[in-house]
Amino acid sequence: METASHKVTEAAEIPFSSSFLARALESALAWAERIFLSASCACLAVMLAINVANLVTRNLTGRGIVWVWPWTGVLLIWSVFLAFYALYRRRHDITVEYFINRLPETGRRVMRVFVNVCGIVMMVVILLEAPQIVSRQVGVIDFVGLERYALSIPLIASALFIAIEMTFDIVRIIFTPKAPPPSSESELPQWSL
């Protein structure tokens, strides 16, 4: 016959990363990362295609395509803001790992939580300012036909997912019994779709 305390001890021994909720959230974040990265790459591909078409048209006819420059600006902004989340998720952001990796295990855990809290604060500021950002960006972008606030939507979405990712990382740090060893350049994820 199992006692309640035995069940609690048994549940505590299950690593957090293998729990159903953790696996489901990790899967959802990985899915979002692929969508954001694919959308960012699609923006770059469209930018390349329309600019090549503009160059060819300008060389053949002496006149460029008037809407290429405005759309290039929109697609560039979307591409950067969409890649914002993918960069963070793949750990290609700028960090102070050089110093953090030289700390003992407890110090690494504390510093990772501190860095995540700082990041969450920044993302929350962006998210709290989002309504004002959207309300201030009024009018239609010339030759594009989109409202100006459409430029901010990928930034707001990336900020939301980065805040979720950082919060999840804090939970992983707290509930994982042992901190991971220091990362090295060879262990960092590589870019791929």
User: Which residues span the domain enclosing 55?
Assistant: 21-187
Domain count, the chain: 1
For residue 192, is it within any domain? no
What was the pLDDT predicted at 90? 87
For the chain, report the end-to-end CA distance as a whole number of angstroms.
50
For 106-115, what is each residue's pLDDT tens digit? 888 999 899 9
DSSP state of 178: S
In Å, the largest CA–CA distance within the chain is 87
Asked if residue 9 is part of any domain, the answer here is no
46: tokens are 């469209």
| pLDDT per position as a tens digit, 77-100 | 999 999 999 999 988 766 667 778
What is the pTM (predicted TM-score) of this model?
0.78
Nearest in space to 40 (alpha carbons), one of 155, 164, 170, 175: 155
Look at residue 27 and tell me if it is in a domain: yes
pLDDT band, residue 175 (cuts 50/70/90): confident
In-domain check, residue 107: yes
Locus of tokens 């954001």: 36
* Predicted pLDDT at 149: 94
Residue 131: inside a domain: yes
pLDDT-derived band at 105 (thresholds 50, 70, 90) equals confident
Residue 45 lies in a domain: yes
Q: Tell me, yes or no, whether 105 lies in a domain.
A: yes
Is residue 14 a part of any domain in this protein? no
